[in-house]
Amino acid sequence: MRLAELSARSGVPTATIKFYLREGLLPPGERISATQAGYGEEHLHRLRLVRALIQVGRMPVATAREVLAAVDDPGLDQHSRLGIATWALPGPAPGPGPEEEDDAATRTARQEVGSLLEHLGWDQFGPGSPAYETLVRAVATLVRLGYPCEAGHLRRYAHIAAQVSEADLDLLESLPGEVEQVEASVALTVLFEPVLLSLRRLAQAEESARRFRG
């Protein structure tokens, strides 16, 4: 398959594919001659994954490169791979970098988050992990706006998150092959986020109608 056909089958412009090749998101095609290269089905699949991560998952190009490098890395067991994937994924609020906020709200948030995770016994990822920091930032913002979000309130959401992760892992384990599972751990983590959030919005509308109308 040539670049043009890869573009036609994926719907991605050739210029964009070249860009991804340059950025290392897509492995180079098999060299046919000095100025020609050929691509296979695996390139098509990877290209679709890249598009999904970037467009649906809103992942920055640089992050996608790191995540995909981890996916391709051999010699990692299932758990570390999922860990790497989860670690590298940017989450919903990457923020303007390590600006080390230390206001009252952030300190409160750290305390509530810490006590929540301690109570749940969730100690795989501690402070410093992206998910943890994102959580602290979000809770700090809620605190700053004056909304209740002590560990008690958060616990309810944590229990629900645990159910989601069970569904995630069930789905992951139902897939064949180990390589596929690694890729899937990334793809499913990212792509089920919009699914979950959209369903939440739809469910909110239903629940709101139930409570405020009929």
Q: Which is nearer to DNA, 32 or 199 (CB)?
A: 32
DSSP 11: T
In this structure, which amino acid lies at residue 77?
D
> Which of residues 50 and 85 has its CB atom nearest to DNA in the complex?
50
Q: Say how far apart CA 89 and CA 27 lie, in whole Å.
A: 20
Q: Which is nearer to a second copy, 74 or 213 (CB)?
A: 213
Please, where are the H alpha helices in the chain? Answer: 3-10, 14-23, 41-51, 61-72, 78-88, 104-120, 130-145, 151-173, 178-212
Q: Is 55 in the site for a second copy (CB under 8 A)?
A: yes
Per CB under 8 A, which of residues 25..44 are in contact with a second copy? none
52 lines the binding site for a second copy (CB under 8 A): yes
Of 107, 130, 108, the C-alpha closest to 59 is 130
Q: How far is the CB of 107 from a second copy (least distance, A)?
A: 15
Nearer to DNA, 54 or 116 (CB): 54
Q: Which of residues 76-95 bind a second copy (CB under 8 A)?
A: 77-79, 82-83, 86, 89, 91-93, 95
User: 178, 78 in Cβ contact below 8 A?
Assistant: yes
CB 189 within 8 A of CB 91: no
CB of 182 to a second copy, least distance (A): 12
Nearer to DNA, 83 or 130 (CB): 130
Q: Does 139 bind a second copy (CB under 8 A)?
A: yes
Rule CB under 8 A: choose which of 103, 118, 152, 179 binds a second copy. Answer: 103
What is the residue whose two structure tokens read 């793809």?
187
109-128: contacts with a second copy (CB under 8 A): 117, 121-122, 124-125
Residue 172 C-beta: closest distance to a second copy, Å: 9
Single residue of 15, 74, 102, 146 touching DNA by CB under 7 A: 15
**DSSP per-residue letters across 109-166:** HHHHHHHHHHHHT--SS-TTSHHHHHHHHHHHHHHHHT----HHHHHHHHHHHHHHHH
Does 169 interact with a second copy (rule: CB under 8 A)?
A: yes
Count of residues binding a second copy (CB under 8 A)? 87
